[in-house]
Chain A
Amino acid sequence: MIVLDFERIWPSVPYILEGVQVTLAYTGVSLCLGFVLGALLALCKVSEVKPLKGFAAFYTSIFRGTPLLLQLGLVYHATPQLFHYTISIWEAGILAFTLNSAAYLSEHFRAGIEAVDKGQTEAALSLGIPYPLIMKDIILPQAIRNSLPSIVNESIDLLKESALISTIGGVDILRRANLVANEKYTYFEPLLIAGALYYVLVMILSTFAKFVERRLKNA
């Protein structure tokens, strides 16, 4: 029989709660940067320029083809040796999460761009509108709407995967829960609290996403 004893860890709950802002900071910043990089990669993927296309495909294959845990460990531990720069936990986390989520986001964007009827581009071109403007004003707004559900998925994934930062010592929700578990010699309870926090965060994120999706549909 498992008896849960939350009383012993109750005073440490605020300590775990503080991890929420750490987790959100990693997720938010990486997502924004990943968004920009992902959009650029997606543009490379739909462009006619072969080297750009090839580069974007290669980039995606690397970052989708290896575990994020490995990428994070390499960025954190190999950077000082290779580039003589002592990268901090925060920088390593942001870099690894950004590069990784950009790979996934670029695929979502590409799908979104390709879902827009090709006739629109052709029509715009025949009207003499330059390609950058076609992309910016006609294709991308629709593409973002098309790929919104998968972007939300990626955000939720990233929010949960940011827990990997605890492996290199980032004090996010998970690491704080583990530290409390070790300090108080209670294993389940802090992890249950961490689980509840992640769940609530994901619920908030997906509710917000549904709201945005509905707004965009009517737009």
Chain B
Amino acid sequence: MMMRFLYLCVGLMILVSCDKAADHDAQTPLVIITSPDNPPFEFKDTAKGGDEVIGFDMDVAHKLSEHLGRPVKIMEADFSAIIPSLQSGRADMAISTIAATDERRKSVDFSDPYYQQELALLVLEDALLETEKHLAGKALGVQTGTTHETLGYKWVKETPPLTIISLSKMGELVQELKNHRVHAVLTEGETARRIASATPGIKAVPLEVKGEELAIVFPKGSPWVAPVNEKLKIMNKDIQNIATKWLKTK
């Protein structure tokens, strides 16, 4: 009887340990969540069916999974749902043009930065705005909840009187620019360049000041932070190649 009980215990322990091993199985895909609405960082080629999310961040994601030796599963969500989805365990990490800020650090963990954002102003073609110093007395459009919005409010103190107009969608901001309700829109450099070339009557003015650094986002206490940072260290060359492929600002 005693022996039987022991066998049972051993059996159970093996079962439990198997279960744990399966958890870290090299075949379990890494779930990376993204909001595919921000070309060239993450978007869908809708003209070709839009089945796959592509872009700078996605190439980084695939390269990273290669280095980690794990298959990757890209999960799609609305931007506002990304952090809740990490917290509820739907995804292992997020790569979605997210900048590491102290405010965000309160609810999530970040990897080391993998890309330094450029900044640019979108203005009407005939505007005489060349740097952020020329913004005094103007209205500046920014996307709600972005680090550009934070920077805009910093400029309010440095270059008064500056008004910040904060809207949720880039398209709305471009529309406001065309309607003369904002004089400039602050956004990422490559994004600005693309919008300018797609929208007649609007140009992009690159800024000297650099943007925040992009990082990979994890749920708090994720075991992935350390291994990802380790791999990011040896991915410099890869990331540079990916940048040349997608980003033409420089």
Contacts and interface: CB of A to CB of B under 8 A. Distances in A.
Interface residues of B, number: 33
Nearest to B172: A187
Of A16, A80, A167, A188, the most chain B CB neighbours within 10 A belong to A80
B175 A187 contact: yes
B37 interface: yes
Contacts of B161: none
B81 A185 contact: no
A145 B75 CA distance: 45
Interface string A18-49: 00000000000000000000000000000000
A182 B43 contact: yes
B46 A178 contact: no
Given A80-B88, A184-B198, A168 B77 contact: yes
Given A166-B78, A185-B195, A86 B88 contact: yes
Interface in B24-52: 35-39, 43-47, 49-50
B84 A77 contact: yes
Nearest to B43: A183
B174 interface: yes
Contact of A167 (B36, B80, B171, B194): B80
B35 to A, nearest CB: 8
Contact of B46 (A76, A77, A168, A180): A180
Contacts of A171: 76
Contacts of B38: 182
B46 A176 contact: yes
Of A178, A179, A181, the most chain B CB neighbours within 10 A belong to A179
Contacts of A80: 88-90
Contacts of A180: 46
Contacts of A183: 37, 39, 43-46
Nearest to B194: A185
Contacts of A150: none
Contacts of B80: 167
Contacts of A11: 46-47
B170 interface: yes
A81 B116 CA distance: 35
Contacts of A77: 81, 84-85, 88
B37 A182 contact: yes
B44 A179 contact: yes
Contact of A15 (B49, B175, B195, B198): B49
Contacts of A76: 81
Interface of B: 35-39, 43-47, 49-50, 76-78, 80-81, 84-85, 87-90, 169-172, 174-175, 194-195, 198-199
Interface of A: 8, 11-12, 14-16, 76-77, 80-81, 86, 166-169, 171, 175-176, 178-188
